[in-house]
Amino acid sequence: MQISPTPTHCPYCALQCGMNLTPAPDGTVEVSERADFPVNRGALCGKGRTAPAVLSSRVRLTSPLVRSEGALVPATWDEALDRIAGGLRRTRTEHGPDAVGVFGGGGLTNEKAYTLGKFARVVLGTSQIDYNGRFCMSSAAAAGMKAFGLDRGLPFPLEDIPRTGCVILVGSNLAETMPPSLRFFNELKENGGTLIVIDPRRTKTAEQADLHLAPRPGTDLALALGLLHLVVAEGRVDEAYVQERTAGWEDARAAAMAHWPEYVERITGVSVPQLRETVRLFCEPENAMVLTARGPEQQSKGTDTVGAWINLCLATGRAGRPLSGYGCLTGQGNGQGGREHGQKADQLPGYRKLDDPAARRHVAEVWGVDPDSLPGPGRSAYELLDALGTDIKSLLLMGSNPVVSAPRAAHIEERVKSLDFLAVCDVVLSETAALADVVLPVTQWAEETGTTTSLEGRVLLRRRAITAPEGVRSDLDVLHELADRLGVEKGFPTDPEEVFEELRRASAGGPADYSGITYRRLAEENGVFWPCPAGPPDGEDTSLDAPGDDGSAARDIPADAHPGTPRLFLDRFATPDGRARFVPVSHRASAEEPDEEYPVLLTTGRVVAQYQSGAQTRRVDELNAAAPGPFVELHPRLAARLGAAEGDPVAVVSRRGRAVAPARITTSIRPDTVFMPFHWPGEGRVNTLTNPALDPTSRMPEFKACAVRLETVTS
C-alpha cells in the first residue's frame, strides 16, 4: 500500500521550510522534498534533513523522571504530575504567586505559547513569565514598535527580495543560519541588484556580497548614523516622503549630523570611502531594503541600533513602499508567533499589552475570568533567571535550555540549582533538564499538530505524521493535567485546533489578529499572513468579542473573507496618525570595552550544523561529524601574538569566567576580535563569558560584544 506523505514544516528555524514526511518501517519518518512551499521550494539544510533522528527513542526521553535520593529516576505520569503540582502549590502557599516562575520558548507552537501564558496568569496567578525570545529578536521588536507601531519581523514576503535594488544585511549569517534563503539573494544579484553584508567576520554570507563592511563588534549604531549623515550631506533625503509619511525627522537629523564620517570611521573601523560606497549603492536604485539579525540586535544598545537603521530607511523613503523596507530576520521556528500570544512578561494574546485596561478586559472575557485577577507585567528573561532561588523559588520550564544559552551562564546555572523546585518539559534530557526535580517527556513536531508563524509573518500548519512513542505526552496535555491538579478544570483543552479557535478570539481586534485564520485555510492556502481579521478586508467588524457561554466555546466565524496581509504599511504605518516615527539616537559604547586587562573583543554566534544550545542537534551523528565541538576563531596576527597554532587549546577569560576551546585561525575575522559559537556546554561554553548587560528598552543581553583576554593552555 502506498502511504501518502504528510506535508509539514521543519522543527527548527524561523524559515519554517516545507517538507513532506512519510512514516518509515522503524516507526520514525522519512523526509522528502515538498516543492509547493514557496519559501524553500523543496530545499532543506542538514538540520532539517536529519531532524527525524531526534525522534528516535535512542536519544529522546520516553518516561517522566523524578529526583529521588539525588538521582533522576523513571516514574509514572501521575507521580510526576502530582510532584509538579505539589511543588508549585507549596511555593505559592509559602511565598505567594510571584514566587512561581514560568520560562517558555520561541520554538513552541502558537497553541503552546498561548496556553503557557494563560496557565501562568490564570492557574498560577504569577506575573513572572518570560521566554528565550527575549534573547533573540526583542531589540528589533522594540524598535519596530517605536517606529512603525507594529512588530512583524518581515513586513513583506521573502519573494520580494529578488526584485528590490539593494539589500543591506546587518549582522546576519544566513548562509549558515537559514541556508535555503540564500536563493533570494542570489536571484537579487542575477537581477542586477546589490548585496551589502555588515559583519565583523567575512562569513559565508559576506562572501556572497558585492560589498562587505567589517565593523568592530558593537558599533553598528555609529555605522548607521554615519551613513545617515552622508545621506543628508549628499542631498539624498527623500523630502516629500519624509514630509508625507513620517514624524520626528528634525531631531533624528540633528543627532545624525553629529556623526561625521571620519568620527564613524574611527569608532567602527569602516573607512570613509566604504561608507560613501554603501550610501551610493543603497540610494541609487529605486528600491532598497535593510535586514537586521542578531549581530546588531544582541547588544545593550540593540533597540537604538535598529532604530538608527530604520531612520536610514525612512530618510531615504524606503519603508512602507512596494519592494522597499526594513525587516528583522527572526530566528526560532515560532520566533514570530511565540512573541505574540502571551508568554512574554508584558503581553497578552494578539500582541496586546498587559497594562492596557481594554486588552485585559477583552482577554479576561475570552478566558472567563475577572480582569482584575490578571497579574501585571513581570521581569524579563535574564532578570527572571537571575532571581531564581531568591525571589523566585519554583520554575516551570518549557522549550529552552538556559544553562547553555543564557548570558553569564555559570551564574545562571548556580541560580537554577538554588531553586526549591524545578520542572522541565523537554524532548531530550537537556543540560537544564538534568538539574530538574521532575522532567516530563513531550511529543515532537512530527507527532503533533500545531501552528507556527514564520519570519515572514506567515502562519503555518504543522501536521502530525506519526504516532508518538508510548510514555510521551504533549505540552498541551501537561498544562491541562497541571491546571486540573491546581483546581482549574476548564479552559485548558488538549486538542490544538480547539486551542487555536480560542486564540483566534483572544487575538481578535489586537495588532496580531488571527481571527480570520482557520486550520482549514492554513491547510489549503500554504499559510496566511497576519493580520487577518475575521471580517472582509476593509469591511465591517464581525465582532468576535463576545465569548460563548462558558467562555471557551468557539463561535462560528465566517472565515476565508480576509486574504491576510503579506505586505504591511503600504498605505499607512500602524501608529495612531499613520506616520512612521524617527528616533533621535546617538552612538554609545558597549557596556564593556577592551582595556589593558581584557584587550580583545569577543563576539558569538552560530555554525550551520548545530542549532542553539545544541540540545537537539548534538544528538544527531551526521551533524556532530560536521560540527563536533566549540572553537575560538581568531586572526593569524592575534594567534601569533598569543603563540597559538591551529587546533591548540586557547583559554578565553572574561570578568564572568573562563572557557577553553581549540584555536581556529583565519584571516576572515578582524584582528581585534575573537568569535565563538554557543552550541556546547562544558569547558567550551561561551556563555560562561558573555556579559548580561541589558538593553534599557528590550532587556536584551549583550551577547555580541564583551571584553576578554586570551591565554595559552599547557596540557
Ligand X SMILES: Nc1nc2c(c(=O)[nH]1)N[C@H]1C(S)=C(S)[C@@H](COP(=O)(O)OP(=O)(O)OC[C@H]3O[C@@H](n4cnc5c(=O)[nH]c(N)nc54)[C@H](O)[C@@H]3O)O[C@H]1N2
List interacting residues with ligand SF4 (CB under 6 A): 10, 12-13, 15-17, 40, 44-45, 47-48, 178-180
Rounded Cα gap, residues 554 and 357, in angstroms: 24
Q: Closer to ligand X at the Cβ: 295 or 535?
A: 295
DSSP letters for 674-715: EEEE----GGG-GGGT-EEEE-TTT--EETT-EEEEEEE---
Closer of 15 and 508 to ligand SF4 (Cβ): 15
Q: Indicate the residue among 170 and 374 with the shorter CB distance to ligand X.
A: 170
Angle at which helices 261-268 and 220-233 cross, to 10°:
160
**Cβ of residue 297: shortest distance to ligand X, in angstroms?**
8
Q: Binding residues for Mo ion, per CB under 5 A?
A: 136, 331
For the CB of residue 160, give the shortest distance to Mo ion in the complex, in Å: 23
Closest-CA residue to 517 (of 471, 461, 470): 461
Residue 44 interface partner, choices Mo ion, ligand SF4, ligand X, none, CB cut-off 5-8 Å depending on type: ligand SF4
Please classify residue 161 by burial: count the beta carbons closer than 10 Å to its beta carbon, then call 0-12 exposed, 13-18 middle and 19+ buried.
buried
Angle between helices 138-148 and 302-315 (to 10 degrees): 40
Q: Which three cell numbers stand for residue 41?
A: 521550494
Which backbone phi and psi does 712 adopt, to 5 degrees? Answer: -80, 155
Min dist. Cβ of residue 448 to ligand X (A) = 8
Cα–Cα dist 393/553, whole Å: 35
Question: Which residues are CB-contacts of 58 (< 8 A; sequence separation ≥ 6)?
Answer: none
Nearest residue to ligand SF4, using CB?
A: 48
CA dist list (Å): 130 to 22, 195, 259, 342, 345: 36, 36, 37, 9, 5
Identity of the residue, 328 or 544, whose beta carbon is nearer to Mo ion in the bound complex: 328
Half-sphere exposure of 531 (CA within 13 A, CB side): 20
Least distance CB 708 / ligand X (angstroms): 13
Rg (CA), the chain: 24
Taking the complex as a whole, how short is the minimal distance between the CB of residue 204 and Mo ion, in angstroms?
A: 19
- Distance in Å, CB of 179 to ligand SF4, minimum: 6
**460 strand-pairing partners:** 452
The C-alpha cell at 174 is: 544566513
When CB distances are held under 5 to 8 angstroms depending on the partner's kind, the choice from ligand SF4, ligand X, Mo ion, none that residue 10 binds is ligand SF4
- Output 291 or 557, the one with its CB closest to ligand X: 291
Which of Mo ion, ligand SF4, ligand X, none lies near 179, with the C-beta cut-off 5 to 8 A by kind? ligand SF4
Judged by beta carbon, residue 363 or residue 601, the one nearer ligand X is 601
Q: In this structure, which amino acid lies at residue 122?
A: V
Helix/strand number for the chain, H first, E second: 23, 30
Q: What does the alpha-carbon distance between residue 256 and residue 310 come to, in Å, rounded to a whole number? A: 13
Of 96 and 682, the one with the shorter C-beta distance to ligand X is 682
User: 432 near 401, Cβ under 8 Å?
Assistant: yes
Nearer to ligand X, 106 or 535 (CB): 106
Q: Is 405 helix (H, G, I), strand (E, B) or coil?
A: helix
Grid coordinates representing 188? 537579487
Q: Which does 535 bind (CB under 5 to 8 A by kind): ligand SF4, Mo ion, ligand X, none?
A: none
Query: Which element (helix H / strand E) includes 309?
Result: helix 302-315
Residue 180 binds: one of ligand X, Mo ion, ligand SF4, none (C-beta under 5 to 8 A by kind): ligand SF4
What is the C-alpha to C-alpha distance for residues 315 and 427, in angstroms, rounded to an integer? 47
Q: Would you tell me which residues interact with ligand X (CB under 6 A)?
A: 13, 105-108, 132, 135-136, 170-174, 176-178, 198-201, 203, 217-218, 220, 293-296, 298, 331-332, 398-402, 404-405, 425-428, 430, 442, 475, 603-606, 608, 610-613, 615-616, 675, 678, 686-687, 690, 703-705
First-to-final CA distance of the chain: 60
Angle at which helix 110-118 crosses helix 496-507, to 10 degrees, equals 70
Please choose which of ligand SF4, ligand X, Mo ion, none residue 515 contacts, taking the beta carbon within 5 to 8 angstroms, the exact cut-off set by kind.
none
Nearer to ligand SF4, 47 or 112 (CB): 47
Given a contact cutoff of 8 angstroms between Cβ atoms, the answer to whether 405 and 423 are in contact is no
- Min CB(414)–Mo ion separation in Å: 24
Task: Compare residues 336 and 518 and give the one whose CB is closer to ligand SF4.
Answer: 336
Least distance to Mo ion, CB of residue 330, Å: 8
Per residue, the 3-state secondary structure of 232-301, as one string, reads: HHCCCCCHHHHHHHEECHHHHHHHHHCCCHHHHHHHHCCCHHHHHHHHHHHHCCCCCEEEECHHHHCCCC
Return the number of the residue (326 or 569) whose C-beta is nearest ligand X: 326
Shortest distance, CB of residue 168 to Mo ion, whole angstroms? 21
Closest distance of CB 712 from Mo ion, Å: 33
Q: Angle CA(359)–CA(365)–CA(366) in degrees, nearest 5? A: 95
Q: Nearer Cβ to ligand SF4, position 155 or 335? A: 335
Cβ proximity to ligand SF4, 554 vs 607, nearer residue = 607
Q: Which is nearer to ligand X, 309 or 367 (CB)?
A: 309
